[in-house]
Every structure is written in structure tokens, then in C-alpha cells.
């Protein structure tokens, strides 16, 4: 009898957890794990946390495992949004994209809002999604969709709300900085922008996973896990979104760019991170990023030019903060 009750209680607990996760992701299929695995892993980690004895390696393995069950999905990104992101890498026409966007009303209103913003504003305001898309143009539209979908789905965490907002701002700032650096070395600015925008995408994913598993932990410990696991996690997400290989490489090796046959996008992201560090968008205490001009040197940028770039990025940052 006792056994049956325990099993029943466990089933209720798991169901509640699944419902909470379902609410968070908006998609039942995108749950990270089958219910028995969620239960087992959560129990073990919670016990470790209670004992003050957290095995960071084990938590890293948990993060890695979260991708295992459905190789086509990115847990946390609902299927329709994932499909839209994949579509961006095809020659899909504007009307095909329009059909997808019409399904997501929030996305639709944000695109119209951006088309009417200071940056794209025309003679008269646009009110239809088609007119907004035409005004933005295909390239800007694609970046905007990446930015909105990823922000709305991955950059969400109840427990680490403040940290997630900082990471989100840092991602957007990095993208602008990378575009500035790219202009100095005649590198494709759109690729630099997208690479920097998503190179740390593993970080918010991991924080959200901690939410779904209802793990209550100190921010410092969470950052410790992010530091170790975000590169691989980010690359896994980007492979499933089907972005260009250079962008996946940037996510995978932006902290270890020297040994990998030097991928320009990885070094660009490392240089953008250095600028974030200079402009206090990264906290030295937690992130342990060493001050270095190496990424700039590897890109063929002199110390003097690096100083000018940093100054320009300060102006960009001031603009973003306005
Ligand atoms: Fe990183």
C-alpha cells in the first residue's frame, strides 16, 4: 500500500512538473526529458544542492543529456518557431515567411513595430506585416526573426531573471560590436552580427533548464555551470536550427579559438567579448575572462586601432542604452 501511494505521489509530482514545464515552453513535445528521467535527475541534484555538495561535472552531463531524446528538436523552442528559424536558411520567399509569421501574433507585431522604429521609419507608418517586411528587407528581416524568436523562447528564466536580462542585452551589444569589428577587416558584417548574437546562446538555455527542473541554486554556482557547458550546448542548439557552419564554430570555440585552425567568426566573437569586458557588460569576478588583445591581433588589428574600435563601441553602447 505504502509503495502504491509513493508511486502515486511521485506521478502527481511529475505531472505537476511536466505541466509547469509545458506552461514555460508552450510546447509539450519540446520538454527536455521523459518524465521518469526528469524525476530521477531532479531528485539527485536537489539532494546534492541540499547537502551543499554540487557536482558541476554531473550538472554538465545533465545539460548535455537534455538534447538526447529528440534529435530534431531544441528543448525550449516550440516546434513552429524552430521550423521558422530553419526556414530562414532556405530560399523561402517573403510570402512563405509571411505565412509563418502570421501564425505568431507577437512576432508579427514586433516586426511591424521595428519597421516603424527610428531606424527604418519611412514617410508613413506601416500597419500590415507584408509592408513591414518589405520595408525591412530580407536581410534585416531574417536577423530580426532570429533575435525575436531566440529572445522570446530561450532568454526566459524565473529564477535568474536579472542574469538573463543582462545576457540578452550583452548578446545584442556583442552583435553590434562584431559588426563594427568586421567593418575594419572587410569581413561580412551580417555573418559577424549573427555569430555574435548567438555565440553564447547555450547560457540562457542552461538557466531555463534549471528552471524547468525547479532547481534552486545560487547565481554564482549557475554561472560556474554556464562557463563550463555553454559552448557545447550553444553549438548543439545552433546545429539543430541549421545556421551556417561558421556560426556553429563560433559558438563552439569562441573561448578556445587558438587551437582550432583559426575560425574568423570565433575570433570575432572573442574580440566582441573583450569589448563587452572593457565596457563592463561582463563581470570579471564571475566570468574569469582574461584581458587580452590577442583576438584583435589575430584579426590583424593593431593595438591603436583596437582602442579606436572600443571607443566606437562605447558610442554604440550609449545608443543602445538610450
Ligand atoms: Fe562565451
CATH of the domain spanning 2-77+154-321: 1.10.3210
Please tell me the predicted confidence (pLDDT) of residue 30: 42
Residues 265 and 267: their CA atoms lie apart, in Å, by 6
Distance from the alpha carbon of residue 290 to the mean position of ligand 1, in angstroms? 13
The ranges assigned to domains in the chain are 2-77+154-321, 78-153
What's the 254 CA to ligand 1 centre distance in angstroms?
A: 6
Cα 250 to ligand 1 centre (Å): 9
Better pLDDT: 293 or 45: 293
pLDDT over 50 (residue 25)? no
Cell numbers placing 33: 526529458
Residue 1 has what pLDDT? 45
**pLDDT by residue (tens digit) across 217-243?**
788 888 888 888 899 999 999 999 889
pLDDT average, residue stretch 13-39: 52
**pLDDT confidence of 183, banded at 50, 70, 90?**
very high
Q: How far is the CA of 201 from the centre of ligand 1 (A)?
A: 9
Gap from CA of 199 to ligand 1 centroid (Å): 7
- Its pTM stands at 0.81
Amino acid at each position: 500500500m505504502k509503495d502504491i501511494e509513493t508511486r502515486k505521489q511521485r506521478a502527481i509530482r511529475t505531472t505537476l512538473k511536466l505541466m509547469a514545464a509545458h506552461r514555460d515552453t508552450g510546447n509539450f513535445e519540446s520538454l527536455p526529458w521523459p518524465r521518469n528521467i526528469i524525476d530521477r535527475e531532479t531528485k539527485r541534484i536537489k539532494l546534492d544542492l541540499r547537502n551543499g555538495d554540487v557536482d558541476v561535472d554531473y550538472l554538465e552531463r545533465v545539460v548535455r543529456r537534455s538534447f538526447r531524446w529528440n534529435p530534431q528538436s531544441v528543448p525550449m523552442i516550440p516546434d513552429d518557431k524552430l521550423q521558422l528559424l530553419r526556414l530562414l536558411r532556405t530560399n523561402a520567399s517573403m510570402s512563405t515567411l509571411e505565412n509563418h509569421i502570421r501564425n505568431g501574433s507577437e512576432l508579427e507585431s514586433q516586426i511591424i513595430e521595428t519597421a516603424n522604429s527610428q531606424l527604418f521609419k519611412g514617410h508613413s507608418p506601416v500597419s500590415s506585416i507584408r509592408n513591414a517586411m518589405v520595408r525591412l528587407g530580407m536581410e534585416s528581416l531574417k536577423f530580426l526573426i532570429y533575435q525575436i524568436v531566440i529572445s522570446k523562447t530561450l532568454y526566459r528564466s524565473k529564477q535568474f531573471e536579472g542574469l538573463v536580462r543582462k545576457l540578452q542585452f550583452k548578446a545584442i551589444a556583442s552583435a553590434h560590436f562584431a559588426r563594427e569589428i568586421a567593418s575594419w577587416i572587410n569581413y561580412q558584417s551580417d555573418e559577424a552580427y549573427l555569430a555574435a548574437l548567438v555565440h553564447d546562446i547555450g547560457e540562457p538555455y542552461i538557466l531555463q533548464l534549471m528552471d524547468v527542473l525547479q532547481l534552486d541554486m545560487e547565481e554564482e554556482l549557475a554561472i560556474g555551470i554556464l562557463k563550463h557547458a555553454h559552448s557545447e550546448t550553444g553549438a548543439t542548439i545552433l546545429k539543430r536550427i541549421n545556421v551556417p557552419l561558421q556560426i556553429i564554430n563560433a559558438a563552439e570555440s569562441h573561448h578556445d579559438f587558438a587551437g582550432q585552425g583559426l575560425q574568423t567568426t570565433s575570433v570575432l566573437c572573442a574580440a566582441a567579448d573583450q569589448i563587452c569586458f572593457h565596457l563592463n557588460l561582463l563581470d570579471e569576478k564571475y566570468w574569469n575572462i582574461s584581458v587580452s588583445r590577442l583576438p584583435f591581433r589575430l584579426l590583424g588589428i593593431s593595438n591603436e586601432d583596437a582602442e579606436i574600435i572600443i571607443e566606437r563601441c562605447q558610442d554604440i553602447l550609449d545608443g543602445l542604452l538610450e
